[in-house]
Amino acid sequence: MKKTLLTISLLALVMVTIAQTFDLGVKAGYNTSKISADLNTIKADANGGYNFGAFARLGGKSFYLQPEFLYVVKNGGFSVGSSTDAIKMKSIQVPVLLGLKLIDLKIASIRAFTGPAISFSTGYESDKSFKYNFNNSTWDYQLGAGVDVLMFTFDVRYEWGLSKSFDTTSLGSNFTSKGNTFSVNLGFKFL
């Protein structure tokens, strides 16, 4: 993981050095999350959440780098037989996305992007007051597409969990608990 972070940091430094464009903006969005469980006896429910934060976009005519700093609230739940539990997970997420402008017109552009994201847990809530042992940080991978019109930016993305959301041994079982999220975001570039 350290090599990956070093590679991303070096790529960012090179992009900043040769960047032809630099944008700063704010964004907010809606997400729907589902914590997958690899046991047939556990059913995962997807519920809506939200995110908001800031982003920077720097790059050249075709490629760009987009680091983001987001506050993310994801809602999900589990069902085991007739027992259910709703979970609200809160985190600070830092995606670092590499993008490609597919169509670039003067007032609008269409783009695609992909890259890793690390999330740092800031807390959780449980309907049943279970004591989940959430990991302090998790890694995800994001893939998406977006449209920019003047100063407005709109994107959709899907996020695959690469690491466990929480340790499940305290629940009397050891199943994989990775989160997957679909999100829709609207932003405004002010610089």
pLDDT reported for residue 67: 95
Could you say which residues of the chain have pLDDT below 70?
A: 1-2, 4-6, 8-19, 36-45, 78-83, 128-133, 166-177
DSSP strand E in 7-151: where? 21-37, 42-59, 63-80, 83-104, 108-126, 133-134, 137-149
H-run or E-run covering 184? strand 177-189
Question: In 3-state terms, what secondary structure has residue 127?
Answer: coil
**Residue type (1 letter), 36:** S
User: What residues are paired with 13 via a beta bridge?
Assistant: none
C-alpha distance from residue 169 to each of 134, 166, 181 (Å): 11, 9, 24
Read off the pTM: 0.82
CB distance 89 to 62 below 8 Å: no
- Find out whether 100 and 57 touch, Cβ atoms under 8 Å: no
* CATH number for the domain that contains residue 7: 2.40.160.20
Q: Give the model's pLDDT for residue 82.
A: 67
Can you tell me the distance from the alpha carbon of 126 to that of 85, in angstroms, rounded to the nearest whole number?
Answer: 7
pLDDT digits (tens, 9 = 90+) for 11-67: 666 655 555 788 999 999 999 987 766 556 566 667 899 999 999 998 878 889 999
Tokens 């999100």 belong to which residue?
183
Range of the domain at 124: 2-189
Token pair for residue 64?
Answer: 């760009």
Domains identified in the chain, total number = 1
**73 near 89, Cβ under 8 Å?**
yes
